[in-house]
Structure 1
């Protein structure tokens, strides 16, 4: 079976060649001229993302000198001619490639495979499928184009959290092999067969009954979503019970007379656990008090500006691959900002609580009940 480490190595080799501006044939020629005869077919087998062939360890070293390419046709600088800076960069890259090759060959355990894969949170090394379950928009909010008898019928008008759905669906398709089946469905139309692959649940308990069902079933995830009379626009998150209960609330701007105005900050839940219906697949929750919280939870691991650092932090702090975090989602001019997990203030709660990930201290008044 192809391991996440093998795919990660193949992607890294492909990226190094692309950064050097070479085709597979040109790379093979440059390596062969360097004294290690390589065919374009071998390069192709090392780089393919579907069942890649790990390259021999002796072939790693020339890749570490790809940044030194010069001339036409392009040639590698020899080891003896590397400058001090080039030697340092060469050694660092060679160490990275060696670690990836070790992972690719090592037959990772299931836990390690999850940990490695979590560095690219939305990459799935198996055959899937991936099913995104999105909430139904309430009937009054759907509009005339949701009517299938309308000549301009558009199915997406029946969905809530469309921003989050489009963002996530496109990202998962881009991250994975084109043959990986990726679907999205309305919560009201989910069948039993949809629940055995990798599940992604968008939205909260009011509009997504699948989220309501699975949050009740995941007793080890201590985060609950509850309705309270004081908030009619969404459902808050809570941890603990009785006097130890902590409630996580949205933040609103206020007028001079104290009246509530615009949403300034929402709360998002990002969680990943084993799928309770198929333990070899995953269940990911992207939830929020409001739709901005849902989108913020999604963009934590899709926004190109911060996702790599966020994914690296999650992989480091949650080595078993299961986690749940409540994140602060700032809202600016009506738009949700992507939470940066490197800032502890953006983490309101983290599970497992014994992880190294520590919530930020405090926040504006009204954040907790």
Structure 2
């Protein structure tokens, strides 16, 4: 899809500012890298007229500080060090660049495209993905620190969802710091930024803790006696949302022992000696203000089982439905705060990404605007 005229105008303006001072992209990247290093490829992406990336607003401020100073220095100056004439040029240029960027944001909001994910296009701040940890008795030996071939990622559960989300968020936010952490590694510094919580309450204690803090979200996850390996969802009106199992068509001679099923986290796949097949999971996808820093957000991607977690993540990363799903969220939840419970079909063991335009896939919807009506 061709870039919008608004995006091309900003890209050309940034390129012209650099060219007017006969700076190479490498020289400009060095000049802008006072606090956070900027790669030459990033400068190139901002200037691209075929596939321009949107710079964070604070980067446009750095452009205005640099090119509003006469002569242009080798590093971005501090605003308090500007002369009156330089300050006037800085303010004029800053307003121009911000207005160009605002035009792009307005165009994106009114007409989302498949080239970006606006839900995961963050303006600023650190982004931390918090992923559950596999219990030790179900972990590969390569996830043990005393193993010479120790690989930390073997300690992570929901790896499919983590890798999918990690790649998408990194691509959408090339200038922001994106990291992933296990719940035991989370610090106050992580909690003050944008948080993306992957996985349920059993193995992700941060998700469990925050779901208790987020009182306005009318959805809770809880354990029930008839499910050993997953937790169902319950809405505030008392309705419960559960996965769907069917008796497996594949013959199985000997049922595993209870100890074997517990070690494999697969107890729900059997009822007595009858093997069962998961055909439908339930996913929670929610976006709320971060209760520890209201200028940042919390995104919850959760499920009864891992198929639901992956379905929640792929709602806005799967390019076959992402554009439609982004458009649905923008229209249905213009305030950007919402909670969704979705049906995730499982076919041949694979989670099918929910298409939000299909009403049957939307099990429960909430936004603060709904409660205000």
The answer to whether TM tops 0.5 is: yes
Unpaired segments of 5 or more residues in structure 2?
Answer: 20-43, 62-97, 250-270
Q: Determine the C-alpha separation between the residues in 1 that align with 2:166 and 2:368.
A: 30
Q: Determine the C-alpha separation between the residues in 1 that align with 2:309 and 2:297.
A: 19
For normalisation by structure 1, the TM-score amounts to 0.66
For residue 44 of structure 1, the aligned residue among 26, 42, 47 is 47
Counterpart position of 1:60: none
Counterpart position of 1:90: none
Counterpart position of 1:349: 364
1:203-224 CA distance string (max 9 Å, x none): 1111000011110111110000
Q: Determine the C-alpha separation between the residues in 2 that align with 1:11 and 1:254.
A: 55
Q: Are 2:290 and 1:269 equivalent residues in the alignment?
A: no
- Residues 318-357 of structure 1 correspond to what in structure 2 (within 5 A)? 318-352=333-367, 355=370
> How far off is 1:333 after superposition?
0.9
Q: Are 2:243 and 1:246 equivalent residues in the alignment?
A: no
Q: Are 2:157 and 1:164 equivalent residues in the alignment?
A: no
Counterpart position of 1:234: 230
Q: Determine the C-alpha separation between the residues in 2 that align with 1:107 and 1:328.
A: 31
Query: SS in structure 2 opposite 1:261?
Result: strand
Q: 1:340 to 1:355 in 2, by over 3 A?
A: farther
Q: Determine the C-alpha separation between the residues in 2 that align with 1:354 and 1:145.
A: 48
Q: Are 2:287 and 1:289 equivalent residues in the alignment?
A: no
- Residues 198-217 of structure 1 correspond to what in structure 2 (within 5 A)? 198-217=194-213
For residue 174 of structure 1, the aligned residue among 171, 174, 188 is 171
For residue 220 of structure 1, the aligned residue among 209, 216, 223 is 216
Q: Determine the C-alpha separation between the residues in 1 that align with 2:333 and 2:359.
A: 16
Query: SS in structure 2 opposite 1:207?
Result: coil
> How far off is 1:328 after superposition?
0.4
What is the count of residue pairs matched by the alignment?
273
> How far off is 1:274 after superposition?
0.3
Asked if the contact 2:10/2:101 (under 8 Å) is kept, the reply is no
Counterpart position of 2:328: 313
> How far off is 1:191 after superposition?
1.3
Counterpart position of 2:146: 149
Q: 1:319 to 1:139 in 2, by over 3 A?
A: same
Q: 1:48 to 1:272 in 2, by over 3 A?
A: closer
> How far off is 1:149 after superposition?
2.1
Counterpart position of 1:278: 293
Asked if the contact 2:338/2:368 (under 8 Å) is kept, the reply is no
Query: SS in structure 1 opposite 2:149?
Result: coil
Query: SS in structure 1 opposite 2:229?
Result: strand
Asked if the contact 1:10/1:52 (under 8 Å) is kept, the reply is no
Unpaired segments of 5 or more residues in structure 1?
Answer: 1-7, 18-23, 29-40, 54-99, 357-369
- Residues 75-86 of structure 1 correspond to what in structure 2 (within 5 A)? none
Q: Determine the C-alpha separation between the residues in 1 that align with 2:352 and 2:295.
A: 33
Query: SS in structure 1 opposite 2:326?
Result: helix
Query: SS in structure 1 opposite 2:181?
Result: strand
Counterpart position of 1:95: none
Counterpart position of 2:94: none
Query: SS in structure 1 opposite 2:317?
Result: coil
Query: SS in structure 2 opposite 1:309?
Result: helix
